[in-house]
Copies of this chain bind each other. A is one copy, B any other.
Amino acid sequence: MPEPRVTVWNEYRHELDNPRVSAVYPQGIHAVIAESLRSHGLSEVRTATLDEPEHGLSAEALAQTDVLVWWGHKAHGEVQDEVVERVVTRVLGGMGLIVLHSGHFSKVFKRLMGTGCDLKWREATDKERLWVVNPGHPIAQGVGEYLELAAEEMYGEHFDIPAPDELIFVSWFTGGEVFRSGCTFTRGSGKVFYFRPGHETYPTYFHEGVQRVIANAARWAAPTASAPRSFGNRQPLEVLPAGDGQ
């Protein structure tokens, strides 16, 4: 199977507005994730950002995207509804989607989940441990028993999502919270992975384990040669005969 073509989408505002963030991600979060995916052997990786025409997600761009990675935070409301529907349609048709961190509140994710997607949070440089609870899953391969992040924003339960199809990581935070931080969902023919890290002020996307998980997820979420999905009227009714041996 050929390697999936990945588009890394980033809101790309914090990096331009906030010196604390640009100090960590001078070229933007998307550039770091894209480079990391390339270093994991995914050769077809491009980036797109909110302020490009059509947010960099034209029909043509999406048609050439097998897996879309999504990072957004403070400008969810600026993502045009038309683009949201375009992305959702592509996911239902088979495109993989990896939603990172504050993307839990993106229009795309909320639209696919059908729930509020809210959670608790604390910006306070907490320590996070992401424990693997599904060790044989392809997304966890090559990862240790847990990933430890020395500095992260806390996200805590209750996380208002449908029960995930598969739960892969559960996070622990110093302050006493837990979080379902690695969750898979199938929507239509598309595979969706939500992954909790990383807040824009911390160097989370430089973390080797985080990079590996995102690369694993990109391969896992790649579309297969899906069985066809056809709908609509099926006339006429023919009562099927029994098998040939009757």
Residues of A within 8 A of B (CB): 88, 92, 94, 111-116, 118-122, 124-129, 131-138, 140-145, 149-152, 154, 156-160, 162-163, 165-167, 170-172, 174-178, 180, 185-191, 202, 223-246
Q: A232-B120, A239-B239, A243-B151 are in contact. Are A133 and B114 (CB under 8 A)?
A: no
B116–A242 CB distance below 8 A? no
- Which residues does chain B contribute within 8 Å of A119, judged by CB atoms? 231
A242–B154 CB distance below 8 A? no
Q: How many chain copies does the complex carry? A: 4
B180–A157 CB distance below 8 A? no
- Which residues does chain B contribute within 8 Å of A149, judged by CB atoms? 243
Closest to A140 in B: B227
**A238 to B230 CA separation, bound complex (whole angstroms):** 30
A188–B136 CB distance below 8 A? yes
- Which residues does chain B contribute within 8 Å of A167, judged by CB atoms? 163, 167
Min CB–CB distance A70 → chain B (angstroms): 15
- Which residues does chain B contribute within 8 Å of A129, judged by CB atoms? 176, 178
B178–A225 CB distance below 8 A? no
B158–A235 CB distance below 8 A? no
8 Å CB contact of A172 from B176, B225, B230: B176
8 Å CB contact of A187 from B115, B185, B202, B232: B115
Min CB–CB distance A22 → chain B (angstroms): 18
